[in-house]
Amino acid sequence: MFRIPKVIVTEDQWLAKGMEKFAESGIDGMVIEKMAAELGCSKSSFYWYFKNRYEFIARFVERWAQIATQQVILESSVLEKTEEQITELLVQMFSVTGKGDFLFYLRNLAKQYLSFQSTLEMIERKRMQYACELFTKAGMPPQEAEQKSFLLYHYYLGWYERHKYEQIHQEEIYRHIEMLKTQLLGVRGGER
């Protein structure tokens, strides 16, 4: 007798699919049957890991926050010099385009659910706080570092909105980063 092999889909695969679909079309993309079909499993697999759609969304938002914030902080903080850390932070920020609009849809979700509003505020506060810490380490007075981290983050939001569906070439990203370092830190060509 011929048996169809059982497809086992992991929790991580479900979370990755959720992040992908959410970035493409927000809450409207959270159709369990469609995601299950794309993963090659039945929708009962979903309920093995998650009680409901709300829990699923909360879990992949948490995962996204780890990847999009904690990972960036970790990757830049391992570098030795403060200027290298700032450069890496900027590279991480401005290299992420062409991957949908997760943050836009998270903002929309936060308008409906207070818990997502808290998550969004925490993510954004952590991002600005890290930039502020780096600017302070680079010798900027704390109040100025706080103001510039606020300006940088809000500039990033506008820049991302404009370029979110494009693939930006590396040389363009680095030209952009050099301009930002000059404007924010007074750094030109690797000097302070």
Asked if 73 and 163 count as a contact pair (C-beta separation under 8 A), the reply is no
Report the C-alpha gap between 152 and 146 in whole angstroms: 10
Per-residue confidence of the chain (192 residues) as pLDDT tens digits? 555 545 589 999 999 999 999 999 999 989 999 999 999 998 889 999 999 999 999 999 999 988 888 888 988 999 999 999 999 999 888 887 666 788 899 999 999 998 899 999 999 999 999 999 999 999 999 999 999 999 999 999 998 888 877 788 888 888 989 999 998 877 654 443
Q: Which amino acid is at 134?
A: L
Classify the C-alpha dihedral 86-88-89-91 as positive or negative. Answer: positive
pTM, rounded to two decimals: 0.82
Domain residue limits, the chain = 62-185
DSSP 76-105: HHTSSSHHHHHHHHHHHHHH--SS--HHHH
Query: Within 10 Å of residue 131's Cβ, how many Cβ atoms?
Result: 26
- Please tell me the class of the 62-185 domain: mainly alpha
User: Which phi and psi angles does 139 have, rounded to 5°?
Assistant: 105, 5
